[in-house]
């Protein structure tokens, strides 16, 4: 164990701080996961006014996850399942109502946003809204360096040019505005902005869902190359199961704010245990003619997150629901000897 982690065990865990402006690759410690979520929850208050109390909505409830260094964790689920709120908490955009996030073993709570920014960077879904239309590409990509006061303006320009090379953009893109680039090129700009600080962890929130399929492949290839080159850890949020299966090491499936199943890619895609995971996999339409559209047997009423069903949140749509499912919420339990977890009474 290195000296660093010893102090960590001995004393109170220090908040994030990175006194390392050189951005040299940090030494990896295999024991600590790059990112650990401990019982993370977020509740919102809806319809509250100046003098009125609103209803509470549990957007994310008690989510625990460990993402080992250099791995890709996929997070899948349908709209409104809380995956975007989860991403916002990891990025420090909203504070968790409960639980904590450990980045590199150190708690995020109370950490300063700038220090966090050097560890975690986002790639957002919509390359049209993720770049300020009134700024040039060089300003957008160089913004992190500028905000953190790294280098002289000449050094920053060199670093921007270098990063544009890394993401496969021509250097003359630096002087252009986002409106002059195609969707795929814009997403490369967003990736360049995320990588210029050399973060350890990148939160990819549906990074290809706004792109055409031919461009999607370019971006996925780029993400894979960058991961290999810089030893990045990804949290890859997507609803596209084919993409997730291609890219990830482990997968977590979310439904109505909770993780219902988590395991390795082979476990989730090969032998899913939760009926919701199974339904998701069945409804992914692979390009195989002749198979038709499967009957997945779910109702299409996504329950109201501010008024979740009793017991297992999935029971109103579950083809196998029993009386027990309506009364008791299944806990997310480890599957013995399998390094996987599932929350279902009948798994």
Partner 1 sequence: MTTSNVSPTVSSASPSGTALGEIPLPAPAWSRVTRRLFGHRGLAIGLIVVGLAVLIAIFAPLLAPHDPYHQDIANRMVPPVWHAEGSWEHVLGTDKLGRDTLSRLLFGTRISLTIGLVVALISGVIGTTLGVLAGYFGGRVDAVISYIITTRLAMPVVLVALALASLTGGSLTTVILLLGLLLWDRFAVVSRSVTQQMRDAEYVYAARTLGCSLPYILLREVLPNIAGSLIVVMTLEMAHAILLEATLSFLGMGVQPPLPSWGLMVAEGKAYMFFQPWVIAIPGIALFVLVLAINLLGDGLRDLNAPGGRN
Partner 2 sequence: MSRLEVNNLLEVKNLRVDLPVEAGTLHAVRGIDFHVERGEMLCLVGESGCGKSMTSLALMGLLPRKSRLSADHLQFDGIDLTTLSERRRSDLRGARMAMIFQEPMTALNPAYTLGNQLCEGLIRHRGVSRQEARERAIYLLERVGISAAKDRLNQYPHQLSGGLRQRVMIAMALMCEPDLIIADEPTTALDVTIQAQILRLLRELQQEFGTAVIFITHDLGVVARIADRVAVMYAGEVIESAPTPALYANPAHPYTRGLLSCIPAPGKTPPGSRLQAIPGVVPSLVGHVEGCAFRNRCPQAQPTCEQTPPLMSLPGDHRARCHYADRPVPVPLQPEMSS
Interface positions with partner 1 (CB under 8 A) = 49-50, 88, 91-93, 112-117, 120-122, 124-126, 129-135, 140, 143-144, 147-148, 168-170, 172-173, 175-177, 180-185, 188, 190, 193, 212, 218, 222
Alpha carbon separation from 121 to 134, 149, 190, 233, 327 (Å, rounded): 22, 17, 10, 11, 41
Residue 246 in contact with partner 2, rule: CB under 8 A = yes
Closest CB to partner 1 among 67 and 120? 120
Helix axes 183-195, 213-230, angle to 10 degrees: 20
**Which residue has 């905000």 as its token pair?**
147
Residue 161 in contact with partner 2, rule: CB under 8 A = no
Number of other CB atoms surrounding residue 276 within 10 Å? 25
Closest CB to partner 2 among 96 and 305? 305
Q: Which does 148 bind (CB under 5 to 8 A by kind): partner 2, partner 1, none?
A: partner 1
Q: Report the distance separating Cα 70 and Cα 333, nearest Å.
A: 25
Cβ contact 37:83 at 8 Å: no
- Least Å distance, CB 8 to partner 2, is 32
- Least Å distance, CB 293 to partner 2, is 4
Hey, which residues between 67 and 86 contact partner 2 (CB under 8 A)?
A: 78-79
Closest CB to partner 2 among 61 and 185? 185
Q: Report the distance separating Cα 243 and Cα 237, nearest Å.
A: 10
292: part of which helix (H) or strand (E)?
none
156: part of which helix (H) or strand (E)?
helix 153-166
- Least Å distance, CB 168 to partner 1, is 4
Q: Report the distance separating Cα 18 and Cα 97, nearest Å.
A: 26
**Which residue has 């704010």 as its token pair?**
257
Residue 295 in contact with partner 2, rule: CB under 8 A = yes
Q: Report the distance separating Cα 74 and Cα 265, nearest Å.
A: 9
Region from 41-49, 62-70, 181-189, 196-204 binding partner 2, contact rule CB under 8 A: 181-189
Cβ contact 233:200 at 8 Å: yes
| Member of 221, 271, 328, 339 binding partner 2 (CB under 8 A) | 221
Residue 307 in contact with partner 2, rule: CB under 8 A = no
Tell me the sheet residues that pair with 77: none
Region from 32-40, 84-92, 98-106, 293-301 binding partner 2, contact rule CB under 8 A: 293-301
User: How would you classify the pairing of strands 98-103 and 35-46?
Assistant: antiparallel
Closest CB to partner 2 among 4 and 246? 246
- Least Å distance, CB 252 to partner 1, is 22
Query: What residues line the site for partner 2 (CB under 8 A)?
Result: 78-79, 167-168, 182, 184-185, 212-218, 220-222, 224-225, 239, 241-243, 245-247, 265, 269, 279-280, 282-296, 298, 300-302
């Amino acid at each position: 164990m290195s000296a660093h982690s010893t102090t960590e065990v001995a004393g109170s865990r220090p908040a994030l701080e990175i006194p390392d402006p050189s951005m040299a690759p940090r030494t990896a410690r295999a024991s600590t996961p790059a990112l650990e979520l401990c019982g993370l929850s977020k509740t919102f208050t809806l319809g509250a006014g100046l003098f009125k109390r609103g209803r509470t909505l549990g957007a994310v409830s008690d989510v625990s996850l460990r993402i080992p260094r250099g791995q890709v964790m996929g997070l899948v689920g349908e709209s409104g399942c809380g995956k975007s709120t989860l991403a916002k908490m990891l990025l420090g955009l909203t504070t968790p109502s409960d639980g904590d996030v450990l980045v590199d073993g150190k708690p995020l709570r109370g950490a300063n946003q700038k220090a966090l920014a050097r560890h975690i960077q986002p790639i957002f879904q919509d390359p049209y809204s993720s770049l300020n239309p009134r700024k040039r590409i060089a300003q957008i990509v160089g913004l992190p360096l500028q905000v953190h006061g790294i280098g002289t303006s000449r050094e920053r320009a060199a670093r921007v040019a270098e990063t544009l090379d890394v993401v496969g953009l021509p250097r003359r893109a630096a002087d252009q505005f986002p409106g002059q680039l195609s969707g795929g090129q814009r997403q490369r700009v967003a990736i360049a902005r995320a990588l210029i600080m050399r973060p350890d962890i990148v939160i990819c929130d549906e990074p290809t869902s706004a792109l055409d399929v031919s461009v999607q492949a370019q971006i996925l290839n780029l993400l894979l190359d960058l991961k290999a080159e810089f030893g990045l850890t990804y949290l890859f949020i997507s609803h596209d199961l084919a993409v997730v299966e291609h890219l990830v090491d482990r997968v977590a499936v979310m439904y109505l704010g909770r993780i219902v199943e988590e395991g390795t890619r082979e476990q989730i895609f090969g032998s899913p245990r939760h009926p919701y995971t199974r339904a998701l996999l069945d409804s992914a339409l692979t390009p195989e003619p002749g198979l038709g559209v499967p009957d997945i047997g779910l109702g299409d009423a996504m329950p109201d997150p501010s008024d979740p069903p009793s017991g297992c949140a999935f029971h109103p749509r579950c083809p196998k629901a029993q009386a027990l499912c309506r009364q008791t919420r299944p806990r997310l339990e480890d599957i013995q000897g399998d390094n996987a977890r599932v929350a279902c009474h009948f798994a």
